[in-house]
Amino acid sequence: MQVHEVTRNAKRPANRVASGDAVTQVLKETIDADTDKGSASDRVAAAIVKDIRMGRLVPGQHLLEPELTGRLGISRGSLREALKHLAADGIVTLSRFRGAYISTLDRKAVYDLLDTLEPLARLAARKAAENNRSAKMSKELRNSAMRLEELQASGKRGDYLTERRYFYDLLIEMGGNGELARVIPLSRADLFRAQVETRQNEAQRRKHAEGYRLIAEAVTAGNVGDADRLMGEHFAGTRVTMDQLADEVFPAA
């Protein structure tokens, strides 16, 4: 399970300039600006996932409770709820007396994730195509796919991943399946993407971004079969890319 940022009411990612501030303030800002509602632990969990996307937290990184409570201005109890939540989603790994670490995905974990995520993503695409009644959301989905191609070209990796998350949130919201929104491991996919994103070459990245545009077109055209098939091809392409990446990208867990 992933961090349950409210998937309904998917929120357009803010186009914030990345001020290279002291890390001490970064998480705090993230919370105040973007995840301003929900319980304290939900806000913290969402902020940590976002910081993974933005590259401010990297796989393997050590998270200390005293430090985080200090930075985020919350109590240990609330922080522990957030970490427990993230651990259940496989975003962080908790080890007693030693602290929490941002999880690292080895090669098998990545293929397992892709195998599990694919049927859910295809379901999301089918449901969205079949259920899409809102012209506004259709337009927003196409816009998001367009922004993805722009962000890919501009090299803003963190913003690209945040926009990608928004794209999936939109797709799921359009499909109207609340269970899918709860189950689909988008946050773990964020972790996966953050880990491999910088290791891909230009062609791989471009193809990845193009996939979203094709999917958006099929979905907004109400073409259920194409939406499903294109999402499948998108995953097939991702697997090919993974096959091409060196082993060092996937440290031993």
Partner DNA sequence: CCCGTCAATATCGTCGGACGATTTTATCTC
Partner DNA sequence: GAGATAAAATCGTCCGACGATATTGACGGG
Angle at 186 between CA 183 and CA 188, to 5 degrees: 105
Least Cα distance to 252 among 101, 86, 102, 108 occurs for: 108
Between 36 and 243, CB nearer to DNA: 36
92 pairs with which residues across the strands? 102
User: Smallest distance from the beta carbon of 76 to DNA, in angstroms?
Assistant: 6
Q: Rule CB under 8 A: which of 165-204 touch a copy of itself?
A: 177-180, 182-185, 188
Start-to-end CA span in the chain (Å): 19
The pattern of x and - marking residues 57 through 86 that bind DNA according to CB under 7 A reads: ------xxxx------xxxxxx-xx-x---
Cα 241 to Cα 201: distance, rounded to the nearest angstrom: 9
Question: 25-31 long-range CB contacts below 8 Å, 24 or more apart?
Answer: 26/51, 26/56, 27/51, 27/56, 27/68, 27/71, 27/72, 28/71, 28/72, 28/73, 31/72
Between 15 and 75, CB nearer to DNA: 75
Judged by DSSP in three states, 221 sits in coil
Told to check if 50 binds a copy of itself by CB under 8 A, we report no
Cα 202 to Cα 125: distance, rounded to the nearest angstrom: 26
Told to check if 127 binds a copy of itself by CB under 8 A, we report yes
Which secondary-structure segment (H or E) carries 204?
A: helix 202-220
User: Smallest distance from the beta carbon of 124 to a copy of itself, in angstroms?
Assistant: 10
The pattern of x and - marking residues 14 through 53 that bind DNA according to CB under 7 A reads: -------------------------xxx------------
Between 43 and 147, CB nearer to a copy of itself: 43
The pattern of x and - marking residues 86 through 105 that bind DNA according to CB under 7 A reads: --------x-xxxxx-----
Q: Are 129 and 227 in contact (CB under 8 A)?
A: yes
Between 60 and 77, CB nearer to a copy of itself: 77
Q: Which residues bind a copy of itself (CB under 8 A)?
A: 1-2, 4, 41, 77, 80-81, 84-85, 88-90, 109, 112-113, 115-117, 119-120, 122-123, 127, 177-180, 182-185, 188
Q: Which chain residues interact with DNA by CB under 7 A? A: 39-41, 63-66, 73-78, 80-81, 83, 94, 96-100
